[in-house]
Amino acid sequence: MTEFWQKIISTNVVLLIALALFFITCAAYRRSSKKIQTSPLKDKQTLVRVGFDAVKVLIVIGAVVVILQSNGIDVSSLVTSLGLVSVVVGLALQDPMRDIIMGIHMLADRFFVVGDVVEYSGVIGVVEVMNLQTTKIRELETGSVFVLCNRDVDQVKVLSGVFDVDVPLSYQEDVLLVHQTLKSVANDISALESVEECAYLGTEDFKDSSILYKIRVRRKPKERFDVRRMALAKIQDGLHNAGIEVPFNQLDVHLFGEK
């Protein structure tokens, strides 16, 4: 009976120590998060979160191992005897393990960090939370949140702060007037508060029924859609004031009557 109570007491002591360490880790994480919120390194908070998560896992594993050993269970023999079970569990956890491995690669190689604007399956959003298994992304236009498994990170594209606007205009328009108007429009777009830089790049391509002229805008990635709408409005106003029309697709039908 004495040995039984010794095991109970030792188990409870281990649990109390593990819980104390767990709560200390959580408190330390909260303090660290508050301190690094203003840090210019956007990925610092992600690294801190992953580091504390790893510490929590180690605390739990360590507590389980100590409790088993203190109760006379040989952990190494137990692991050996459960080899087949480990294989089955390993197959079941194959995808989660891939997520964790890819999450480690993401943090080590800095594929993207919290705050970056990315595109996934045609959806554009900002990275809000990253951990070793998943990445949470908030869509810019709708505010919807979706969670991406880290094993699919190869389908994610990090967007820069640059976007191009191709303006299709008729071959019949005065080329000099077009260049002059679009240069003036680019200057107007540059004056917008959310725009860092805007430049008129000139003729881009000759299409079947129009000529493409390119304008390049640089702005903060998070303001992608708002700035694009404001830029298009400036282009529309500039063309209208200059008397330049944006062409639309037309189909010419020629009828041949009998002679």
- Written as one string, the DSSP assignment of 4-49 is HHHHHHHHHHHHHHHHHHHHHHHHHHHHHHHHHTT-S-TTHHHHHH
Interacting residues of 32 by C-beta distance below 8 A, sequence separation 6+: 48, 52
- Same-domain pairing of 139 and 167: no
Please indicate, yes or no, if residue 21 is contained in any of the structural domains: yes
Of the residues 96, 131, 158, which one is the last residue of a structural domain? 158
Q: In terms of residue numbers, what domain contains 136?
A: 112-158
- pLDDT surpasses 60 at 2: yes
| pLDDT, average across residues 44-64 | 70
- Same-domain pairing of 204 and 152: no
Query: Over the chain, what is the mean pLDDT?
Result: 78
- Same-domain pairing of 142 and 169: no
User: pLDDT digit string (tens) for 230-241?
Assistant: 999 999 999 999
Task: Walk across the sheet containing 123-130 and list its strands.
Answer: 145-149, 134-139, 123-130, 117-120, 156-158
User: Each residue of 37-53: b (16+ CB within 10 Å) or e?
Assistant: eeeeeebbbbebbbebe
- At 198 the pLDDT is 93
- Same-domain pairing of 24 and 76: yes
- At 205 the pLDDT is 92
- At 177 the pLDDT is 94
Please indicate, yes or no, if residue 259 is contained in any of the structural domains: no
- pLDDT > 70: what percent of the chain? 71
More confident residue, 52 or 233: 233
User: pLDDT digit string (tens) for 159-215?
Assistant: 888 889 999 998 889 999 999 999 999 999 999 888 889 999 999 999 888 899 999
- Same-domain pairing of 146 and 169: no
Q: How confident is the model at residue 56 (pLDDT cuts 50, 70, 90)?
A: confident
Q: What is the pTM of this model?
A: 0.57
Angle (deg, nearest 10), helices 83-92 and 94-109: 70
Q: Which of 13, 20, 18, 16 is nearest to 70 (CA)?
A: 13
Count of domains in the chain? 3
CATH code for the domain in which residue 234 is found: 3.30.70.100
More confident residue, 66 or 233: 233
Please indicate, yes or no, if residue 95 is contained in any of the structural domains: no
> Dihedrals φ, ψ of 173, to 5°?
-75, 150
